[in-house]
A and B are shown apart, each in its own frame.
Chain A
């Protein structure tokens, strides 16, 4: 077997103008340029996108699911960040 395995890339596609790029999957490629071409062939065979990002999987830093609770806890008790926190009389327009 050939051991020359190519690095793993994560692929993000913008479905149409006005939308964010969304993660669609991953693939192997020898370099950035080939990753982009392979992503086009693999993930946009039916006009699924107008723009593609590829990034080496090793370059991504992710939050750890084990510390999910403490990591996201700081936003838990800040209800005043939401508009519904504030009592406004119903007859005040446009608010």
Chain B
């Protein structure tokens, strides 16, 4: 049990576990699942915003959106690479995603109905993602932590471009302001759900905290996000769609209303507005790209033979 003691010593000392170190099987499995789901979320997350690249209202917005969607692809690849250091196989991970056997963040199962959604995704969805991800820069598994550091650096542009887009629309016409408000109304609650089920129902939280994979509970991070978002909403001039949202001086935090957990579980289990469409689109893109992968592999094999 020397190996296990050494593992626990490294984790307790807040040092990093590296790929070839001994680790408990449960630690490896938990990480593979979490990193894979995180990677899938980045890859599926390209779709809702990708929908607006061809319809962006200006060249400036189009270039920004392209760069952002390209970043999401990059983030997915950093994370797949981190999962592979744990022995996961890339083709297998892709298969799990396109066959619906592995999940991704439910937030991407909601549609982007107007261009204001692009802004709100940057502000609230990427904002919530940053809240989740910043503590992961100190997660106990080295390759995951390093991937998260890269991702967090790049993510801050995502949130700022979203907020700037919304500020621009709020200075525009009445119709544009209404569009922003409508988008905020639709995305606020799903954004709060991004932190996952409440602590008392989160099966894996305790063990993940002990292993220092997670550094904070779902509810702690959700509260942090609410506290950050309220003043941002005020500055923007929008009202968050929660009548119970109020400052609680005693707690030093904002109180907020009850999340519709029935909706959360419905979407997680596959019955959200876009679940089927997102997975089908990913599967189609993967299958349509098969000939490129095969041709490149054949070309490489031919050159290797000739050499």
Interface residues of A (CB under 8 A from B): 1-6, 8, 25-28, 30-31, 34, 41-42, 45-46, 62, 64-66
Contact = CB atoms under 8 A, between A and B. Distances in A.
Nearest to B70: A45
A6 B71 contact: no
B84 A66 contact: no
A65 B143 CA distance: 16
Nearest to B18: A65
A8 B84 contact: yes
A62 B19 CA distance: 12
A42 B82 CA distance: 14
Interface in B115-163: 143, 146-147, 154
B94 A65 contact: no
B303 A2 contact: no
A4 B81 CA distance: 18
12 contacts: A1-B91, A2-B91, A25-B81, A25-B82, A25-B146, A25-B147, A30-B293, A31-B299, A34-B300, A41-B74, A42-B74, A46-B154
Contacts of A64: 20
A2 B283 CA distance: 12
Contact of B300 (A1, A30, A45, A62): A30
Contact of A31 (B78, B82, B85, B300): B300
A65 B6 CA distance: 12
B294 A66 contact: no
A26 B84 contact: yes
A5 B93 CA distance: 12
Nearest to A10: B81
Nearest to A8: B84
B296 interface: yes
Contact of A34 (B71, B147, B294, B296): B296
A30 B299 contact: yes
Nearest to A48: B150
Contacts of A46: 154
A64 B3 CA distance: 14
B81 A3 contact: no
A3 B286 CA distance: 12
B22 A30 contact: no
A25 B78 contact: yes
Q: Which of A2, A5, A34, A41 has the most CB of B within 10 A?
A: A2
A6 B84 CA distance: 13
Contact of B293 (A6, A8, A27, A41): A6
Given A26-B84, A30-B297, A3 B91 contact: yes
Interface string B17-41: 0101110000000000000000000
B21 A65 contact: yes
A25 B85 CA distance: 10
Interface string B60-75: 0000000100110010
B9 interface: no
